[in-house]
């Protein structure tokens, strides 16, 4: 009985930790630009975000991932940043690509090895757009 309680507490604590996992702003946050973020989000070539997500302010959008509407009402900027940078920290089996991490990726083409999909500035530009576009009425 006591053991069960300890296990339950550990499971709950682990879940709270997983939900709260977040990435603080990088130094490029100070120069984040909403318009650059919009261009990156909509670019199938550079990010492919619209392949899987419906995004406020954009006509195109797929539904392999959740809609990003009202995002800023559901999570903080730091949580959004973490989800784009590397969602594997929350869900190791995720279908969402890690856009700001090169760790643990296999069979990456040689010229891309060790590189991240987004630059630090690109990541911050996207976070800025998503916050701006989903801040509500
Ligand atoms: C191949 C499909 C795919 C692509 C491409 C993709 N995502 Fe995702 N995304 C997902 C999935 C699936 C989830 C749900 C994560 C999970 O459950 O593992 C998700 C979750 C998210 C979340 C959290 C949403 C929520 O409501 O919990 C954000 C924010 C996000 N993605 C932003 C982006 C951005 C920005 C890009 C482009 C830089 C992008 N995604 C590209 C599939 C994708």
Query: From the alpha carbon of 67, which atom of ligand 1 is closest?
Result: 26
**pLDDT at residue 112, as a whole number:** 81
Segment 92-104 shows an average pLDDT of 91
How far is ligand 1, taken at its centre, from the CA of residue 31, in Å?
24
**pLDDT at residue 104, as a whole number:** 82
121: which DSSP letter?
H
Q: What is the DSSP track for 5-69?
A: HHHHHHHHHHHHHHHH------GGGGG--HHHHHHHHH-TTTT-HHHH-B-TT-S-B-SSS---T
Residue 113 above 90 pLDDT? no
- What CA–CA distance (Å, rounded) separates 96 from 14? 22
Segment 106-120 shows an average pLDDT of 87
Segment 97-111 shows an average pLDDT of 87
How far is ligand 1, taken at its centre, from the CA of residue 54, in Å?
10
Query: From the alpha carbon of 93, which atom of ligand 1 is closest?
Result: 18
Q: Domains of the chain (ranges plus CATH)?
A: 32-133 (1.10.760.10)
């Amino acid at each position: 009985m006591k053991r069960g309680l300890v296990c339950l507490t550990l499971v709950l604590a682990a879940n709270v930790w997983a939900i709260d996992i977040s990435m603080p702003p990088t130094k490029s946050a100070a120069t984040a630009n909403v318009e650059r973020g919009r261009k990156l989000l909509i670019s199938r070539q550079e990010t492919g975000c619209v392949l899987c997500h419906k995004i406020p302010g954009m006509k195109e959008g797929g539904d392999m991932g959740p809609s990003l509407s009202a995002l800023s009402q559901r999570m903080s900027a730091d949580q959004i940043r973490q989800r784009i940078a590397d969602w594997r920290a929350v869900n190791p089996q995720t279908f969402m690509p890690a856009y700001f991490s090169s760790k643990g990726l296999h069979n990456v083409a040689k010229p891309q090895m060790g590189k991240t999909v987004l630059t630090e500035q690109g990541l911050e530009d996207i976070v800025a757009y998503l916050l701006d576009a989903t801040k509500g009425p």
